[in-house]
């Protein structure tokens, strides 16, 4: 039976054109989320980056990154089986062969995976247990000098949590969202 709750749309970020199909159960099913776009506006990628799209949804961040630094440099994960299935289809649709994992945060990702960048637009309308795990486990999976980018509508809790785990955090307000940048420093 064909899912009648699908949507298709195109997203252009800079000179990168992408096409997506989504389903109603996946976050922001009708277009690019403004918070995600705000976060991507501050992210600077380098060819040698190893990037994780944490909580990938339909795959916008991972596809965007793969088109810049190469699919082999990118991993995506989401707890939702629907999101993983849709993200895999969108990778194929956009010509990038990205590894997409079904995982509760970083818990089920292969232990050997380490990243220079982790990008996330976490579910922040619920309690803080999900973003708490994203931040704490994400820190452990970043290489020294690696950076976590996170975007939310709330500021105080995220600022305090990122600062306590990373030792410092930069926050920018963009289009009504808070974009956090935290670097894992050498200890």
Chain centroid offset of residue 19 CA: 17
Token couple for 179: 């974009």
Q: What is the pLDDT of residue 127?
A: 78
For residue 1, pLDDT beyond 50: no
Tens digit of pLDDT for each residue in 89-127?
Answer: 999 999 999 999 999 999 999 999 999 999 999 987 667
Cβ atoms < 10 Å from Cβ of 33 = 16
* Residue whose token pair is 């704490």: 136
**Distance between CA atoms of 42 and 145, rounded to whole angstroms?**
17
Cβ atoms < 10 Å from Cβ of 186 = 5
For residue 10, pLDDT beyond 80: yes
Contacts with 15 (C-beta within 8 Å, 6 or more apart), sequence order: none
Do the beta carbons of residue 180 and residue 164 sit within 8 Å? no
Tell me the pTM: 0.95
Tens digit of pLDDT for each residue in 131-181?
Answer: 999 999 999 999 999 999 999 999 999 999 999 999 999 999 999 999 999
Cβ atoms < 10 Å from Cβ of 135 = 26
């Amino acid at each position: 039976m064909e899912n009648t709750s699908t949507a298709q749309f195109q997203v252009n970020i800079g000179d990168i054109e992408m096409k997506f199909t989504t389903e109603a159960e996946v976050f922001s099913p009708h277009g690019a989320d403004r918070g995600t776009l705000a976060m991507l506006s501050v992210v600077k990628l380098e060819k040698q980056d190893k990037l994780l799209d944490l909580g990938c949804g339909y795959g916008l961040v991972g596809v965007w990154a793969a088109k810049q630094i190469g699919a082999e440099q990118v991993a995506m994960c989401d707890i939702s089986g629907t999101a993983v299935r849709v993200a895999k289809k969108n990778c194929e649709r956009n010509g990038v062969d990205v590894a997409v994992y079904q995982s509760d945060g970083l818990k089920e990702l292969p232990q050997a995976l380490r990243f220079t960048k982790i990008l996330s637009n976490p579910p922040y309308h619920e309690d803080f247990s999900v973003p708490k795990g994203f931040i704490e486990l994400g820190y452990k999976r970043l290489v020294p000098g690696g950076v976590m980018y996170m975007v939310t509508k709330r500021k105080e809790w995220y600022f305090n949590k990122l600062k306590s785990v990373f030792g410092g955090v930069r926050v920018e307000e963009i289009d009504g969202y808070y974009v956090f940048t935290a670097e894992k420093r050498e200890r």
